[in-house]
Structures are given as C-alpha cells and as structure tokens.
Amino acid sequence: MTRTATTQTDRAAPSLITLNRILMAAALVILIGLLGVYVVYASNLIQFPFDYDQGEGFELVDTILFSQGQWPYLDTEIYPFYSSNYPPLFHVIAAPFVWLFGPGYAYGRLLGFLGTLVTATAIGYAVYRDGQQRLIAILSGLAFLASNTIYHIGPLFRQHMTMVMFEMLAVLVLAHANELGNPQQRRSRLVLGLVLILAAGYTKQLAYATAIAALAFLFIRNPRRGILYGLGFGLVGAAIFVGINVATNGQWWLQTITANVNTFYPHQTVGLFQLWFGLHGFLIVPAVLYIVYEFYFDRISIYSLWWMVAVANSILSGKWGAGDSYFATAIAATCVLSGLFAARTLNRRWQFPPNYLTRRVIDPLRPLAPALASAALIIIPLLYVGYGRAVLHMPTTGPVFEPLANALNIHPNAQNGFYDSARQQDGSFSGGYADIGHLTTQGDIEAGYAIVDLIKAVDGPVLSEEAGFNLLAGKDVITNPTQLLNLANNSLYDGDALLSMIEDRTFGLIVLRAQFYPVPVLQAIGRNYTQTESIRMNGFEYLMLRPQPPQSMDSDTEDSNGGG
C-alpha cells in the first residue's frame, strides 16, 4: 500500500507538521507569483505588433506562405531571396489564423504560451500519476513555467516550446505503455507516443534527442517490440522527409539540414551550462539522485533516459544562433524527475533490494531513517523555495510590482525596469542567453510605427532585417538574413542577385539591427548606403540607411578646370 505524505506527517511532531505546511505554502505562493509575472509578460507580448525577439517576423512569413499553400523552403539566389530553416508543423498549425485574422504576431505568441501551459500540466500529471502527491505535482508544473528560460521564450512566435510540448506529451504517453495488458491499448499508446515524437521533430529538429531516448527506452523494455516500432517510426519519418524534399526540389535538405551546421563556441556552452545549474540546481540535484537510484536499485524509466539525452543534447547550445533555449527540454525533464524524487521521499517509498551498495551504503543508514524522514518534511519544500528565489524575475515598476520589488530589495538589471536573476546586477549575462524578458512600452510601439512610416514613404523595395516592418508597410519581405548567413558560413551562398541590387542602389531604404547578413552583403551596403537616422525600439537601435548620392563624373571635373 502506498504511503502518503499525510501518513508521514501524522507520525511527526505537530510543530514539524506546521512548519512543513508553512514552507509548502511559501513555495506555492512564490511559484504562483512567478506564474503571474509570466501571464503579464505573455499578455504584453501578444499585444506588441513588431518583432520582440530577432527572427519572429520570419516565422510569421513562413506561416503566411503555408496559409497560401506554398513551401517556405525556397532558392535564396532568386528574388525575394527568402527561405526558412525550420520544419513546418508549428507554422502549419498557425496558418489557419492567417485566414481569420491576417498577418500578425498575436496568434503565434498565444500558441507558444498555451504550449507551455500544456507542458506544465503534463509535467504535473506525470508526477502525480507516479508519485501520488498532488501538491508536489502542482509545484513541479509551476517550476517549469518559473524557469527564466521557459519564461522568456514561451510567449514568442517561435516553434521551440511547441516542440517541447510534443516531447513531453510523447514521453508521458510512452512511460507506461509497455505495462498495459490489453494488446490493442498498448499498440494504440505506442503509436500515439511515436506520432507525438514525429510531431516534435517536424516542429524543430532538436527533437531527435527525445526520439533517441524514447526508442532506447522501448528497446530496453522489450527489444523485439522496440525494434519493430522503431522501424515503423523510421520509415514514416523518412517518407515524410523525402516527400518534402522532392516537393521543394531539394531545398528542404539544403535549408533545414545542410545550412544548420554552424560554428561551435565551447565557451558559450560552458557559460550556459553554468547558468543552467545556477538557476535550476535546486531541482537538478534531486533529479540526478533519482536517476542514480533507478540505475542501482530500480528499473530505468523513460524520464531518466530523456533527461540524460536532453542534457547531452544541450551541448549544442554553443552553436552560432543557438542559446539557452536549447535547455528547455532538459528543464522539462528536470521538473519531472525532481518532482518524482520529492514525492517518493515524502511517501517513504524508497526500496533498496539487496546488492553491494545496499550493504555498504544503505544498511548503515537505516537507523537514521526516522530522522531523515522528518528532515525531508523541511528539505523538500525548501528545495522549491530555494528554486523560486534562484529563478526570480519580475518587473520593478507599476502599482503592483514596484512595492513588491521594494519589499524584496530587488533592483532592475534589464531593460524597462526589469529584474532577471540570470543577469549580473550590472545587466551582463552569459553569452547565448537571450536578451529578452522585459515588458514592452507604448514608446516601443510608437517607435516601431515610426519605422513603418519611413518604409511606406519609400518608392520601391526596402531591405529590412526584421520582416514585421515590411509586412505592416505592405512591402515585399526580402530575404532572411540569418539564413543567408547560415548558408554563407557553409559556403552554400553566392548572393550575386542580391549584391547586384545593393550595388545598383535599388533599395530605397535599408533597415539594420543586429547586422546578421553575410559579410559580402554588409560590405556592399557599406559601399552604397549611408546611415541617415536611427530609431530605438525595445532596447535596440534600428539603423536607417539610404542610397549614397551619385558621385560626380571625372569629365565634369575636367570641364571645370580646363579653361576655355
């Protein structure tokens, strides 16, 4: 019979029971408060009509193309020199909203936000199903939403969190599929889980790590079944891949696979791993302890395999164009495992079958079991309290947040009066950590429309590093700078047609922000365009460049000096 936390606390001293309840309530209040900050942030972003994170506009362009029945995997040597480097599913899901509401950021950001809520719910359900601790399950789901990384990328028009949602649902479905006695139910569960992994993979390529973990788990549980379902999974996935590649004349392979082999920066990976542990260490330690327990005293679970593969895959966060978002899957797995550790501890369900470790390590500690069980009533909620403080992030202005920030002695270290514990007090942060999370202002919106007005006033095409301005101005969206840079870094881009347009000063205006174009493109812009103004929006300087005036001809100079 499963023991519950109530059973354990019934045995403890009344004062210990009271302290446990106070600390659990404190953890719940902290994490619910961070959920409130997340909701405020998501609401703010959903109403913001421009790119918040660099590249959102091109996700919108992909969605628009799908809504028109077109592939976004195009030849970047042909006008408008545009291509996507992401799989299609997220944009396909968002495409019907284009039919209903036209181009806009709101629905893509809402989908991302809702995806994180689904993931958090699935985390909580996984912990409750296996741990039978309702409050720990709730804290586990809230912990996912409280993570700085999940917070600041969740409500973006990006596909990453939708991928994590499909990954979490797949792992949840597969976790106990082999234990079902009814063959039909078992087959349905296995097929559903693998379909969800395919959905994750065709949302973003990084989901291959979850596919590896899931297939390894199925093989360990039942080798024959794992091989058969693995072959079916591979055949379906390959058929979809080949079909898209044929339909796009090979651009799918070029743009989403070949071009994504980017430069790796080890120092960025090291810095992001240090940041990941600094923020999530209160949950990482129990998660690792749970994995160690399964390795030596129990059957390895899909959650443990998932965590190990996801953490290993996070090494890719050091690639150019990557960042802390590459830890999102590992964060989800960490929340599940730490929740299972907490629930098993409170339920006193640790079992140690006889082996050499039991004799050498566990047996000598058995006399301390009652004291350790009492200590757990304090340690477990303190883990969540400590985690809540470690990931603290919030605005420090406004009628609600300013008094709270003053009470907590929190001072802003990011844009627009925002505090983010992932940053140093001077505002610096690890390379690869996204410079986002703050709220936008009415001034940011007005600045964005000022850029749109400048674009509207120009006859002919405009080259803008962010797509949203051109979309609102009714201009063609010309190229995707980061994809051109991906291609150029792999010697896969010539760019003669685009360079010719720049040299001919065809563009009446060029809008730059991060200057992520290939070097030859930037050099051509420098030779032919001059910055005339800049507009600050959302903490970034947007540079307006106009064609340089024609130079005087040598013959004119000779005439003026030649006498008569």
- pLDDT 10s digits, 263-287: 899 999 999 999 999 999 999 999 9
On whether both 447 and 384 belong to a single domain, the answer is no
Q: Which of 353, 388, 423 finishes a domain? A: 388
On whether both 181 and 281 belong to a single domain, the answer is yes
Question: Rounded distance, CA 314 to CA 305, Å?
Answer: 14
On whether both 185 and 297 belong to a single domain, the answer is yes
On whether both 384 and 496 belong to a single domain, the answer is no
pTM of the model: 0.93
- Strand (E) or helix (H) holding 511: strand 509-512
- pLDDT 10s digits, 444-481: 999 999 999 999 999 999 999 999 999 999 999 999 99
Q: Residue 464 phi/psi, 5° resolution?
A: -120, 135
- pLDDT 10s digits, 175-227: 999 998 899 999 999 999 999 999 999 999 999 999 999 999 999 999 999 99
Any domain includes 86: no
Any domain includes 63: no
The predicted pLDDT at position 550 comes to 80
Average pLDDT over residues 284-294: 97
Average pLDDT over residues 70-81: 96
Lookup: tokens for 83: 């291509």
Any domain includes 254: yes
The predicted pLDDT at position 396 comes to 96
300 secondary structure, DSSP code: P
When mean pLDDT is compared across 63-67, 307-311, 448-452, 536-540, the lowest value belongs to: 536-540
At residue 5, does pLDDT exceed 80?
A: no
Task: Provide the domain limits for residue 539.
Answer: 442-547
Count how many Cα atoms sit within 13 Å of the Cα of residue 149 in the half-sphere of its side chain: 27
Any domain includes 330: yes
Residue 11 pLDDT class (50, 70, 90 cuts): low
Cβ-based neighbours of 44, under 8 Å, separated by 6 or more: 439, 440
On whether both 235 and 374 belong to a single domain, the answer is yes
Find out whether 456 and 474 touch, Cβ atoms under 8 Å.
Answer: yes
On whether both 224 and 112 belong to a single domain, the answer is yes
Count how many Cα atoms sit within 13 Å of the Cα of residue 316 in the half-sphere of its side chain: 20
Any domain includes 140: yes
Q: Nearest to residue 357, comparing CAs of 292, 422, 303?
A: 292
Lookup: tokens for 335: 């929340």
On whether both 243 and 137 belong to a single domain, the answer is yes
Cβ-based neighbours of 164, under 8 Å, separated by 6 or more: 115, 116, 119, 200, 328, 329, 332
Residue 17 pLDDT class (50, 70, 90 cuts): confident
Average pLDDT over residues 135-155: 97
Question: Rounded distance, CA 69 to CA 87, Å?
Answer: 15
At residue 4, does pLDDT exceed 50?
A: no
Any domain includes 75: no
On whether both 461 and 356 belong to a single domain, the answer is no
Q: Facing residues of 419 across strands?
A: 394
On whether both 343 and 457 belong to a single domain, the answer is no
Average pLDDT over residues 138-161: 97
The predicted pLDDT at position 561 comes to 41
Any domain includes 393: no
Any domain includes 432: no
Domain count, the chain: 2
Average pLDDT over residues 311-320: 94
- Residue appearing with tokens 């005293």: 297
What is the percent of the chain where pLDDT is above 90?
84
On whether both 383 and 446 belong to a single domain, the answer is no
- pLDDT 10s digits, 420-436: 999 987 778 888 898 89
Find out whether 214 and 191 touch, Cβ atoms under 8 Å.
Answer: no
517 secondary structure, DSSP code: S
